Structure 1
Amino acid sequence: MTDSTLQKYPLLATPHIRLRGTVDYAMYQTFCDQLAAAPGDGMLVVSLTTLGGDPEVARAMGDDVRLIREFQRRDILFLGKAAVYSAGATFMATFPVEHRFLTRGTRLMVHERQIDSSVTLSGPLKMQVASLKAKLNEIEHSVNIEEEGFRDLVRGSNVSFEEVRKRAPNNWYIDADEARDLGLVLDVI
């Protein structure tokens, strides 16, 4: 990290919002509580360490960040620490590349959304068609949301959407320096 970056972003050393653990509704509540206690103006820093969790909760937290950025015209920086896996990468993707940072040694992990579901067919045949179409619609919609997140993750970087789609099925692990070199984050601190 250059001296000018250190001077421009001194708040990275003392994040206003510190999130750690599973991305779930408990984390969302912690996020909301810390956000409410944060200064009402100026730049904010959100740090995150997670092995993953609920991608919809990550998207909801990201929407809060986006709304603050757009309506309050405030800069909010993301600081990933140690591990930013799965839903953590989904949350990070809601920040513009120029507002993303990782600490040295941090790893990102990007993968496809997962499903653990079974379909039971029982009853009139026409009802089975409707049940199967509903499950297919759920899967197709989830794939669309996943692809929106992938596009957000790589927007402004040197990584193409096709590259992340190709690598995500195998759990793509990216160390901090590689993430910086790929343009997925602004810098490593």
Structure 2
Amino acid sequence: MKKVLFIITIFIATGISAQTKYQTGMQKAFSHWEKGEMNKASQLFERISKAEPTNWLPSYYAATIEILGSFGLKDETKLKAKLTKAQEFLDDAKSNSENNPEIIITQALLNTAYIAFDGQKYGMTLSGKNAQLYAKALKIAPENPRVLLGNAEWNMGAAKFFGKSTKPYCEQIKKAIELGKKEKIEQEFYPKFQVKRAEQVLKQCQS
């Protein structure tokens, strides 16, 4: 009996240790991100993803960092290198969480990075894909504040490009903010809604 209890204790301790290691790693990666240490954050998320091969979150965050870091780049070779790497992370995340609205809208963000770099070169092929991605995400999660905000921002960008008013999308942003404030996140490290950023987008919409 003592031997059985000892074995059970070892299994429990191992499980706790593994969970704590994951939590510590994720917290450290977010800490790097907050400090602006993007490469360290991305590399750590990548290492965690390999240690947690069935968890979509580390790959998702590694992809997000690479995508965000690509905006503003002037060198297309560097842009492609970052976004190719981001796509690999996203594909890995997709393999662990199919039809996940968070991953779907991040794919749209990756496409947007290409379009922002060269609208004439990438806009024709990727704009339609983005419209499909946001439509799919909205169908899966119509009350997801990140999906609503992402879709509104995408439509605002298109409206500005064609010289149209962005006001039709203000209500969608307001709804996203309202839902974001009420949202309760149950899964640890799940993407959170950035209320302050959404409020800034709303100001741009109303201006």
Q: TM-score, normalised by structure 1?
A: 0.38
Please tell me whether Structure 1 or Structure 2 has the larger radius of gyration of its CA atoms: 2
Query: Which structure shows the higher strand fraction?
Result: 1
Q: TM-score, normalised by structure 2?
A: 0.35
Query: Which structure shows the higher helix fraction?
Result: 2
Q: Which has the higher contact order (CA 8 A, sep 6+)?
A: 1
